[in-house]
């Protein structure tokens, strides 16, 4: 009897090729499309309901997934996770913004939706395995980087547990994006030329600040030059800014290059530094919480990524009594940001991750929060 695989069909080329490859390998393939966001609250860039378009992006994704499944001759089921997504991902996102942090909702979506609620739904369909179009690899409950280093998505999976990764397949994890596109074109898969989605899934291509203001009120405060301690402008709310940001900071009359280097939630102050590469953007230690180890390994030395597109840093770990971890990086790292994930690696293996709580330099906590 064929093993049954339920594939998370997103309407993109990666999940489409995943379903195609599994079908070629002889699995019984079933598609499952997740509706995670209520499109009626996905407002346009002016904050108005998106009523002018004939079809919203989410519905287009579903139609694309359906077209692919029809092409492959497989069933496509649709499941509504709007409540689960709101409770576990979007509420978390808003709470983190209120704290002045920069959250990464994709990690929580994988943890609570794609590898939790989705797996439970797949089991109802009789799945022996589940599969997604992530660029990552897994073996015996261990997680590894995808072959395509420019597309590797192990960073976004680093809050998923080893248990959740059991019986999970990543068919494109051993391929690069060019190969995936080529397979899709040769197989005449309808999504072969579809562009990759960008941005946060519930925001999409919309104006970030205007979208956020639908949920969090503007809260203007002072922008302060960290070197002169002078007030040089007014911000519209700390949730609109992230560490290392240098565009749309809201400082009029300053032509010199400048960066957001810190926040103070209690005083509602945004700190800015001028220069090509301000020293105040650098740190050598961070404290991480919400620790999730996928591997059984508890190293004292490994490498870490502090953001998805960031480089790997050699780090030293100190396990604290309260369950948090001190991550030290002697070479110093730029724009390490509270709320982002610190993802730990041993070569190709993703060991796990924690959420960055605070930043330090020379043993002193910085002014970020």
Which of 85, 81, 183, 167 minimizes the C-alpha distance to 131? 167
Give the DSSP H/E element, type plus range, for residue 363: none
Q: How much is the CA Rg of the chain, to the nearest whole Å?
A: 22
Query: Of 69, 201, 302, 342, which is the active-site residue?
Result: 201
- Dump pLDDT digits (tens) for 343-364: 999 999 999 999 999 999 999 8
Q: Identify the residue with better confidence: 15 or 2.
A: 15
From the options 3.40.50.620, 3.40.920.10, 3.30.70.260, 3.40.50.9100, give the CATH code of 4-186.
3.40.50.620
Edge-to-edge, what's the strand order for the sheet holding 258-264? 231-235, 221-225, 269-274, 258-264
Which of 338, 295, 333 minimizes the C-alpha distance to 314? 333
Name 347's Cβ contacts closer than 8 Å, sequence gap at least 6: none
Asked whether the beta carbons of 325 and 291 are under 8 A apart, the reply is yes
pLDDT at 341 over 70: yes
Model confidence at 254, pLDDT cuts 50, 70, 90, reads confident
Percent of the chain with pLDDT over 90: 81
Active site residue 109: yes
- Dump pLDDT digits (tens) for 276-295: 999 999 999 999 999 999 99
Model confidence at 366, pLDDT cuts 50, 70, 90, reads confident
**Number of neighbours of residue 47 by Cβ within 10 angstroms:** 12
Q: Quick one: pLDDT at residue 53?
A: 44
For 119, the 3-state DSSP assignment is helix
pLDDT at 267 over 80: yes
Domain spans of the chain, in order of start: 4-186, 217-274, 279-365
Q: Quick one: pLDDT at residue 135?
A: 98
Query: Of 109, 286, 342, 350, which is the active-site residue?
Result: 109
Q: Quick one: pLDDT at residue 153?
A: 97
- Dump pLDDT digits (tens) for 59-71: 889 999 999 999 9
Asked whether the beta carbons of 19 and 180 are under 8 A apart, the reply is no
Q: Quick one: pLDDT at residue 319?
A: 98
- Dump pLDDT digits (tens) for 164-189: 999 999 999 999 999 999 999 999 99
Asked whether the beta carbons of 310 and 286 are under 8 A apart, the reply is no
Q: Quick one: pLDDT at residue 47?
A: 44
Distances (CA, A) of 82 to 27, 88, 101: 30, 10, 24
CATH code assigned to 217-274? 2.30.30.280
Q: Quick one: pLDDT at residue 247?
A: 82
d(CA 35, CA 102): 25
- Dump pLDDT digits (tens) for 7-64: 999 999 999 999 999 999 999 999 999 998 876 555 443 444 444 444 567 788 999 9
Q: Identify the residue with better confidence: 253 or 126.
A: 126
In the CATH hierarchy, which fold is given to the domain comprising 279-365? Elongation Factor Tu (Ef-tu); domain 3 (2.40.30)
In the predicted model, what is the mean pLDDT of residues 238-258?
Answer: 84
Helices 13-24, 177-186: inter-axial angle, 10-degree rounding: 70
* Residue 19 in tokens: 């379903």
* Residue 241 in tokens: 């800014």
In the predicted model, what is the mean pLDDT of residues 82-101?
Answer: 95
| Average pLDDT score, the chain | 91
């Amino acid at each position: 009897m064929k093993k049954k695989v339920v594939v998370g069909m997103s309407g993109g080329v990666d999940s489409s090729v995943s379903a195609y490859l599994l079908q070629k390998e002889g699995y019984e393939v079933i598609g499952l499309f997740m509706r995670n966001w209520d499109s009626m609250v996905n407002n346009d860039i002016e904050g108005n309901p998106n009523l002018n378009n004939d079809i919203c992006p989410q519905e287009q994704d579903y139609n694309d997934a359906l077209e692919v499944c029809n092409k492959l001759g497989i069933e496509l089921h649709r499941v509504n996770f709007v409540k689960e997504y709101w409770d576990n991902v979007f509420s978390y996102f808003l709470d983190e913004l209120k704290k002045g942090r920069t959250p990464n909702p994709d990690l929580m979506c994988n943890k609570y939706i794609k590898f939790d609620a989705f797996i439970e739904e797949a089991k109802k369909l009789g799945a022996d395995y589940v599969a997604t179009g992530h660029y990552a690899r897994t073996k015996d409950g261990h997680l590894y980087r995808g072959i395509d280093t420019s597309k590797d998505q192990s960073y976004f999976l680093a809050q998923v547990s080893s248990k959740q990764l059991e019986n999970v397949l990543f068919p494109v994890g051993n391929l690069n994006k060019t190969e995936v596109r080529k397979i899709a074109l040769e197989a005449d898969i309808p999504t072969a030329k579809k562009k990759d989605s960008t941005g946060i899934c519930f925001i999409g291509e919309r104006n970030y600040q205007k979208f956020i203001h639908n949920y969090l009120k503007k809260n203007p405060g002072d922008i302060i030059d960290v070197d002169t301690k002078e007030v040089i402008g007014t911000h519209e709310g700390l949730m609109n800014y992230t560490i290392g940001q240098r565009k749309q900071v809201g400082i009029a009359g300053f032509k010199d290059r400048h960066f957001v280097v810190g926040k103070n939630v209690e005083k509602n102050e945004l700190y800015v530094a001028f220069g090509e590469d301000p020293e105040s953007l650098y740190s050598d230690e961070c404290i991480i919480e919400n620790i999730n180890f996928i591997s059984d390994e508890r190293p004292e030395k490994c490498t870490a990524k502090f953001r998805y597109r960031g480089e790997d840093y050699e780090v030293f770990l100190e396990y604290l009594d309260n369950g948090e971890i001190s991550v030290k990086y002697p070479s110093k790292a730029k724009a390490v940001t509270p709320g982002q994930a610190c993802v730990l690696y041993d070569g190709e293996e993703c060991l796990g991750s924690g959420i960055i709580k605070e930043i330090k330099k020379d043993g002193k906590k910085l002014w970020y929060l």
